[in-house]
């Protein structure tokens, strides 16, 4: 009988981000993962060299909850690996990536998707994008989705801004369309008694937009929040708004729904897939965003319908289900006899053509 072996797990990804939550939840639930000290940063373009050398000196397979992979060659490649591409933001929005990251996507991640034992992703939308970009068979990619953390429940304390508020959760990078949300909010706040709360701190661009629109006094920045604080912020909001131009999944959609708060989100990329019929879907321009927000604020019946539908939709996503899907992919690699996949190894030069 073959002995069971733990997989090397890249726990460096654990952080208060979407990928970090994915990494943390899997690390807590899968005992087959060995949290080995690796050093360095998983987002460094040179990390592929560190991982390649590490795998050359071990008999274990490797699993990353993020997009970092070992750089292999016909001479060095001998261990199986699984990694996760949550989205193709650096490919589809190159202005948000450095030259080094763009080169890393093209010459490291793309060929690695063809050499990997499996590639994980978090939505059918992302899977289709990866298949087209990497030119690989759909069977090479497994959709495992994200889940809702235990802190995000309907019952619990509510954040109090002393005024009704809308909530945006996320960073302020261009693809998040915070500028579009601010312009939409400017159309609303003159006639509605509602403010806007945003997690994190304001960027210089966000401050400039607020000042231009004369809404700075109506927008509040909540800073860095724990899960319990974030759940309270969701519960206290009139609605959560995610007007992104691009998402690979969209965790705030299901977290807000799980907390019993209506959601207004964009009708692009992964968001319709994740939201189902439990959100008000809008286009990404300010007029449509504002119209969607008004629908929710002005219609109590719609609010109750969205709350009920959202709770049901959020129940479809759990970290236990995600972990079970990931384990199903990783299980063959935990057997000592399954160490290499030479038929999947291709020279780097050939795989980037």
Q: What is the pLDDT of residues 220-255, one digit of tens each?
A: 999 999 999 999 999 999 999 999 999 999 999 999
> Do 163 and 193 contact (CB within 8 A), yes or no?
yes
Q: Note the pLDDT of residue 54.
A: 87
Three-state DSSP class for 317?
Answer: coil
Rounded CA gap, 125 and 122, in Å?
Answer: 8
Pairwise CA distance, residues 205 & 176, whole Å: 13
Mean pLDDT of 150-163: 96
Residue 335: pLDDT over 90: no
Radius of gyration of the chain (CA): 21
Q: What is the pLDDT of residues 296-332, one digit of tens each?
A: 999 999 999 999 999 999 999 999 999 999 999 999 9
Considering the chain, what percentage of its residues have pLDDT values greater than 70? 91
Sheet holding 141-143, edge to edge: 33-35, 7-9, 62-63, 81-84, 118-121, 141-143
CB 261, CB 184: distance < 8 Å: no
Between 119 and 74, the higher pLDDT residue: 119
Annotate 34-75 with DSSP letters as a single string: EE----S-TTSTTHHHHHHHHHHT-SS-EE-SSS------TT
| Mean pLDDT computed over every residue of the chain | 91
CA distance 88 to 133: 9
Identify the pLDDT of residue 349: 31
The whole-angstrom separation of Cα 319 and Cα 26 is 8
Strand, helix or coil for residue 2: coil
Domains and CATH numbers, the chain: 7-147+319-351 (3.40.50.2000), 165-314 (3.40.50.2000)
The per-type count for the chain, helices as H runs and strands as E runs, is 15, 12
Decide if pLDDT at 58 tops 60.
yes
Would you place residue 343 in the very low, low, confident or very high pLDDT band (cuts 50, 70, 90)?
Answer: very low
- For residue 281, give every residue at least 6 positions away whose Cβ sits within 8 Å of its Cβ, in sequence order, or none: 265, 266, 267, 271, 272, 275, 292
Tell me which of 78 and 148 has the higher pLDDT.
Answer: 148
How far apart (Å, rounded) are the C-alpha atoms in residues 94 and 115? 24
Q: Judging by beta carbons within 10 Å of its beta carbon (0-12, 13-18, 19+), is residue 197 exposed, middle or buried?
A: buried
pLDDT of residue 74 exceeding 80: no
pLDDT at 97: 87
Which of 212-226, 231-245, 272-286, 333-347 is the least confident region? 333-347
**Per-residue pLDDT tens digits for 5-39:** 689 999 999 998 889 999 999 999 999 999 988 99
Q: What pLDDT sits at residue 100?
A: 87
Task: Report the pLDDT value the prediction gives residue 66, as an integer from 0 to 100.
Answer: 96
Return the higher-pLDDT residue of 351 and 130.
130
């Amino acid at each position: 009988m073959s002995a069971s072996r733990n997989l090397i797990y890249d726990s460096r990804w654990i952080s208060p981000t979407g990928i970090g939550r994915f990494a943390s939840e899997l690390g807590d639930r899968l005992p087959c993962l060995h949290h080995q000290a690796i050093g360095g940063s998983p987002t460094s373009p040179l990390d592929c060299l560190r991982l390649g050398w590490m795998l050359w000196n071990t008999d274990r397979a490797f699993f990353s909850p993020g997009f970092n992979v070992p750089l292999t060659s016909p001479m060095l490649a001998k261990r199986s690996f699984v990694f996760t591409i949550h989205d193709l933001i650096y490919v589809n929005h190159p202005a948000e990536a450095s030259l080094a990251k763009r080169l890393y996507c093209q010459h490291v991640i793309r060929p690695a998707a063809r050499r990997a034992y499996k590639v994980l992703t978090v939505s059918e939308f992302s899977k289709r994008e990866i298949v087209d970009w990497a030119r690989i068979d759909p069977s090479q990619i497994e959709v495992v989705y994200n889940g809702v953390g235990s802190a995000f429940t309907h019952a619990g304390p509510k954040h109090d801004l002393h005024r009704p508020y809308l909530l945006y959760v996320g960073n302020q990078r261009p693809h998040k369309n915070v500028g579009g949300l601010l312009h939409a909010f400017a159309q609303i706040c003159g006639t509605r008694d509602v403010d806007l709360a945003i997690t994190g701190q304001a960027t210089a661009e966000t401050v400039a937009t607020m000042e231009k629109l004369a809404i700075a006094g109506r927008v509040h920045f909540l800073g860095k929040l724990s899960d319990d604080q974030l759940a309270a912020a969701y519960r206290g909001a009139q609605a959560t708004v995610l007007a992104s131009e691009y998402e690979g999944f969209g965790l705030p959609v299901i977290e807000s729904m799980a907390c019993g708060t209506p959601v207004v989100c964009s009708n692009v990329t992964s968001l319709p897939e994740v939201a189902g019929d439990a959100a008000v879907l809008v286009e990404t321009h300010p007029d449509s965003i504002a119209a969607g927000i008004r629908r929710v604020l002005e219609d109590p019946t719609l609010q109750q319908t969205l709350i009920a539908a959202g709770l049901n939709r959020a129940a479809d996503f759990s970290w236990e289900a995600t972990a079970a899907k990931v384990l199903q992919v990783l299980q063959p690699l935990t057997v000592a006899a399954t160490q290499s996949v030479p038929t999947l190894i291709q020279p780097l030069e050939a795989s980037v053509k």
